[in-house]
A and B are shown apart, each in its own frame.
Chain A
Amino acid sequence: MNVLRTFMDRLSAWLESASANIKLVDQALSGMQGSYVELLTLLALGLLAVIPIIVPERHRQFYRRLNQCFGILIFIFVVYTCLGVFGMIRNFHRGLMEIGRENIIALYFCSVPLTVLVTSMIFGPTFCGWICPTGALQEFIAIPLKRWHRARRKAGWPCTPAVLTLTGLVTLVFLGWMAYLSVTRVFFVEDASVYWSEVLVILLFVLAFRMARWDKALRRLRWVSFAIIAAGAVAGWRITSPVHFTFSKVYDPASVLSTIMVVLGAILVPQIWCRYLCPWRETIAWAGRHSVRRLETRHDTCTQCGQCDSVCGVEAVHHGTVDPHECHLCLKCVDTCPTKAIRLVDQWKVEP
């Protein structure tokens, strides 16, 4: 216990020193004289969202990775107001309520969520696939395990000893960290992200045994997640999001725990956070369903080879048809399709 505690102390001290002064444009914000920084956010996010349209098709996935790296950098250095997936919802509410009273503050809080929603409604849900740092983190972690994930998916996500061991290890990490937290500090509402990591652990156990059958039903958890955060925003709770601590100056062990849980979860199940728990994903999915840009399959050229199914990280493609509610628009399916049956189309007319 004592060893664990000293180790944890050292780790959190190291994290603190590593992420000190991470916001370079700190000075510009201090007085909030103008809307300088937030306009930069708007510009940066807007440009990142446009990039998927203009990159050449030949090395698109490489550009996507690059874009994700830029996304992480921008969220670390430029975007102030994105307090992770949870904070964005809360800030949106707060910003909307400030319109007419403090318009600059309203811009400060609304700029990120509105930019993300707007770009998702026009250019498709590219935020998830091309920019989102949480998604990028999970994807990068899973790169070395690509083959394992594909094999597992092909076999219908069987419950193997390796999976069980990994799940057990993740649980041990969670329990150890919780034990450390419980002896070192008092819990606040802010630390409620711990509940999300708890749910993640439970989810991992469920997924280890019943992934193939329960996958679809469990995705509805995103709604629950969204409802809780939205209700919390109205009621004035602050809940720290996972993958939040790097993006604003919160060096909070509870937040670090939830981040680590997301990363470890993504090792076992690709994009686990996006699939089952991300509350913001639900709004982007809504925006994406109304978006101009979407993926269409020409079934006459589709040979049912199943490559697009296996390459999709969130299992949004089924027999060549893309589910717009789950699609992250990473365009992997478009790039792997040998007959070019899946393509991007712009549809400006809305069917009634």
Chain B
Amino acid sequence: MDSEVLLNAIRKSRLNADFQVTASTKISHSLSLERGKLTNLNVNESNHIYVHCIYKKRASIVGAPTGEKGEVLNLLKKAYELAKISGSTDTQSHFSTERHKGSGSSKGTNKANEAELISKILSAKNAVQSELNPYSINLSIERSNSHLHIANSNGISGDWEGSIASAESEIMAKEGSDQASGRNEESALDIGGLDLEGLAIKTATLAKNMLGGKPAPSGAGEILLSPETSKLIIEFLVSAMNGEDILKNRSFLAKRKDTEISSKLIKLYEEKSVRLSPYNRSFDDELTPTSSKQLIKDGVLKTYLHSIYSAEKMHEKTTGNYFPSSSGNINVTNLRLVPGKASTDELISKIKRGVYLIETGDSPNMSTGDFSAMIVNGYYIENGKIMHPLKETMIGTNVIDLLKNVRFIGSEMITLDGISAPAIMSDNVQISGK
């Protein structure tokens, strides 16, 4: 199937409504290792079609697996009937009319190779076992290949093919009754781009270093966000730039466009095409062309991120950022926070009293920007020196305060999920521990 087939089905349907049809296929191969032993090897294949219909300003969506004859036409009719009977009214008026250039496909060079997956995971396990011999090693690796075909009743269509390889490590360290754990992940265009061995050693080292955790003394202090937690804040900022949340006053960034939301050190870019990135796209999931743009320039918020719906309601231009997922409808292709010059060690040496936040499961509050987070993994720092790992310690601040108080940006970057992030050092956060 390709987008021409979908365009033809829309034309043949002769239904008096606007349609967008999306067909997706995905094949993924994954392998997991539990406590140092290979356990599960998995192949998943899925094919789905979704039809979005707008009939007299009423909208509906229907979806089904592919494989049945005449399925596209059948789904067009079902979507049409559903929109007519009880379609949603708080909706966009049209589908994309903008033509995009190319597909932006980002495809790896090799197909899923079982031997390569097995070899990669076993060599990582052996390396970490011989070097650090942790209590428990859990690793997983996956490679998937996806095709996306989209067409709408305005005659706009697009086809995209992409691959992504990803790996996760979760490693436990134990001494007596004291147990600590570390988690890390990475992604690349292909299995060859993953450094699972390096990832596993980094994770095992973290777990070992986290043994003997103690609460930090309560009070105000400085904070160093690791590149991983800095990525979390950047991801949150992107979701807070969602035009629909701005429109409905659900985001703390509402009415802050063209105002200063951070220190001038913060320079944040979306880049629609980055060499060897699995996240390159020339059109979003509504067929709107994607664009490279500066999101935060010298601390000033320069744009919101739109779907056709929010752009239309806010009378702004579409930005090509409609990428629906379980975490929301808006996302970016690739994102880069411009790094600074200081190494992590140099940043630590500048802290008088504070915490180094390496891992948290928290995300700030979307409507207020308040950020109250448990330090899952991190260190307490005094006079430029790491004093001890942390447990039972939380930090509290507001994202705007955190960003406005940024004093330094680190030079060491991670790139994960298309986001390149360095460490960030800020101050005046509330530390709650002892």
Do A and B associate with each other? no
